[in-house]
Amino acid sequence: MLERTERLRLDRVRTWRALVVFAAALARHPRTLARALGWAARKAWAMRRDLLAGRGRVRKLSFFVHDFMDACDLDPQRVAACSFMVASPDGPVSMCAHNARRDDYLLRPAAVRGGYWDPVTGCTCAQPVVQPVRLTRKNARGRARVS
């Protein structure tokens, strides 16, 4: 269905127009239409309680796919132009830069009442202590292999 509808221009304000364009595109491909109707029927049945609770009102849901850069190949120009930011103690940071150095951000001791909370140990101490992270099979997923 994605291939059949990838070039459609859907009106994001008038739902009925988007439905007409979508239905017309599927009508040109009966096999895709049959599969889509089967899928929609299964989804509607699975969501029946929620649909009843919402009295049939359904709103749009948007998905955005972002092509993150590899930590070893960060392009400074793309990082500087990035609009997908994450809040950090240092201010907004590009999500690609954040992912490239996620341990530096996620495992940094955080100031709390009575000292600093260490996310590595789960303990609170008087002074921040930055501890090296030992990579294991469980916590090293997604990181470049160290040879």
Length of the chain measured in residues: 147
Each residue's pLDDT tens digit, 84-126: 888 887 888 888 888 888 878 888 888 899 899 988 788 888 8
- Alpha carbons 77 and 19: distance in angstroms, whole number: 39
- What is the domain partition of the chain in residue ranges? 2-53, 73-125
Give first-to-last CA distance, the chain, whole Å. 43
Mean pLDDT of 16-28: 88
Q: Residue 115: which H helix or E strand, with range? A: strand 115-118
Q: Which of 30-39, 56-65, 70-79, 123-132 has the highest mean pLDDT?
A: 30-39
- Kindly state the tokens that stand for 123: 């303990």
Contact between 69 and 100 (Cβ < 8 Å): yes
